[in-house]
Amino acid sequence: MLLEARQLFGGYGGMDILNGVDVAVEAGEIVVIVGPNGAGKSTALKAIMGFVPLKSGHVAFAGADITGKVPEDLAALGIGYVPHERNVFRTLSVEENLAMGGYLRREAIAAAAARIYDLFPALKERRRQRAGDLSGGQRQMVALGRALMVQPRLLLLDEPTAGLSPSVIEEIFERIQVINRSGVGILMVEQNVRAALSIAHRGYVLATGRNRFSDSAAALLANREVAEAFLAGVGNGGDA
């Protein structure tokens, strides 16, 4: 098991948003977390990444206990994280964003950056532009590229397609599959539920901070109860 989070309880400042979340990712899997607004999807990712204090629960990565570790340490262990908002260094150029992603590697940054440009050719010609001046889709590519520079074995993606146009959404999902096929496990929170489940291996449906359904992506898509309760009308709105 690449990632195993068990019975996560916690939240910000006494407010419990997570009331017992279980999430696991096998090596090579794409796993999606869906659910209504306020279900605790983003908070679960942040808790795994060490941004949200846990009251109880355990997180293990590649067999080692990482509960309570800070984000800096998790990056060094090989977990990449792309937040929903503020996910690029706005005043840094595309090139510098990637270099910062490779901050821990010190050497071979150029070669790693070249692979990112292969994955997202649109970034190559814009590599000297300020990331803050790019379009939403390009910024998401910079964010993904930056996270990949950490050379992660696991990538946590918080709503990677939020606010993007349908064609860009398709492109991002397609790139996520390419990244996954290169051996990177992916755990993502998504509002574009159907599209996300269609590229995923497994999925979790969260509601009020706990697991409601856990199944293969195909089974979740076929589940009428899930479809009626969670798939209809979900597609926009904030996160929690």
Partner 1 sequence: MAAMPEGSAVLDFVGHYLVPGLVTGSIYALGAVGISLLFGILRFAHFAHGDVMTLGAYLALSLVAGLGWPALATIPLAAAGTGVITVVLDRAFYRPFRRRPTIISVIASFGVMLMIRSAVQLIWGVEPLEYKPGIEKPLIFFGQLRIQERHIWMVAVTVALVLALHLMLTRTRMGRAMRAVSDEPDLARVAGISAERVIQVTWFIGGALAATAGVFIGMDSQIDSYMGWNLLLPIFAAAILGGIGQPMGAAAGGLVLGLIEELSSYPWIGDDPLISPDYKSGLAFAIMVALLIWRPTGLLRGRQF
Q: How far is residue 37's CA from residue 52's CA, in Å, rounded to a whole number?
A: 18
If phi > 0 it is left, if psi is from -120 to 50 it is alpha, else beta; for residue 63 that is left
Residue 83 in the binding site for partner 1 (CB under 8 A): yes
Among 63, 64, 86, 232, the residue binding partner 1 under the rule CB under 8 A is 86
Residue 40 or 80 having the CB closest to partner 1: 80
Residue 92 or 227 having the CB closest to partner 1: 92
Residue 107 in the binding site for partner 1 (CB under 8 A): no
We find the least distance from the C-beta atom of residue 153 to partner 1, in angstroms, to be 14
Residue 147 in the binding site for partner 1 (CB under 8 A): yes
Single out the residue of 48, 60, 39, 33 nearest to residue 215, CA to CA: 33
Residue 89 or 204 having the CB closest to partner 1: 89
Residue 88 in the binding site for partner 1 (CB under 8 A): yes
What DSSP assignment string belongs to 2-33?
-EEEEEEEE-STT---EEEEEEEE-TT-EEEE
We find the least distance from the C-beta atom of residue 173 to partner 1, in angstroms, to be 22
Question: Which contacts of 110-115 are long-range, i.e. CB under 8 A and separated by 24 or more positions?
Answer: 112/149, 112/151, 113/149, 115/148
Q: How far is residue 240's CA from residue 227's CA, in Å, rounded to a whole number?
A: 21
We find the least distance from the C-beta atom of residue 93 to partner 1, in angstroms, to be 10
Residue 196 in the binding site for partner 1 (CB under 8 A): no
Single out the residue of 194, 182, 180 nearest to residue 30, CA to CA: 180
Residue 71 in the binding site for partner 1 (CB under 8 A): yes
The binding site for partner 1 (CB under 8 A) comprises 49, 51, 70-72, 75-76, 80-81, 83, 86-92, 96, 99-101, 103-104, 106, 146-147, 149-150
